[in-house]
Amino acid sequence: MGVETERKFLVIGDAWRKSAKGIKYRQGYLSSVKERVVRVRTIDDKGYLTIKGITTGATRMEFEYDIPTEDANRLLDEICEKPLIEKNRYVIKQGNLKWEVDEFFGENDGLILAEIELESENQQFTIPEWIGEEVTGDPRYYNSNLIKNPYRKW
């Protein structure tokens, strides 16, 4: 069983950009209810299917599988809930941990979030100067909720 423990923060300023290169992500949801999320995603030219369980604190079950890119694009275009999530992801290493910064486009243009994946909820880590308010427990910032209530409508 896969388990994911991550914390999510708003990003402030542009200092994070100096050490980051973006990769294009396109993702949509076949199911976006809180008890189970089923996501289809393309990262550059690769396709993925991800199933996530309900979040408890900062932890939830997660299973991810490679799927043919052609299948992923067809699911995104024809079956997934709309609007799709469009973003660039930047990976910034800090010690033995990595921050993933998501810069959103389309209906969520202007939103920039950072996530850090941890081994446990009480793991200590250093917070960079470009990290703002923590939004880990705020469901508005879940990608699966950004299709129902895009950032531009807030």
Per-residue pLDDT reduced to its tens digit, 104-144: 999 999 999 999 999 998 999 999 999 999 999 899 999 99
Domain 3-153: give its CATH code: 2.40.320.10
Distance CA 123, CA 139 (A): 22
Q: Supply φ then ψ for residue 85, to 5 degrees.
A: -90, 125
Could you write out the DSSP letters of every residue in 49-74? EEEEE--BTTEEEEEEEEE-HHHHHH
Q: Tell me the C-alpha distance between 65 and 67, whole Å.
A: 6
Would you please indicate which residues are annotated as catalytic (active-site) residues? 29
Residues 144/29, Cβ–Cβ less than 8 Å: yes
Q: Which helix (H) or strand (E) holds 76?
A: helix 69-78
pLDDT at res. 1: 57
Residue 34: the pLDDT is 85
In this prediction, residue 19 carries a pLDDT of: 74
* Per-run averaged pLDDT (10 residues), the chain, 154 residues: 88 90 95 93 96 89 97 98 96 92 97 95 93 95 94 96
The domain segmentation of the chain, as residue ranges, is 3-153
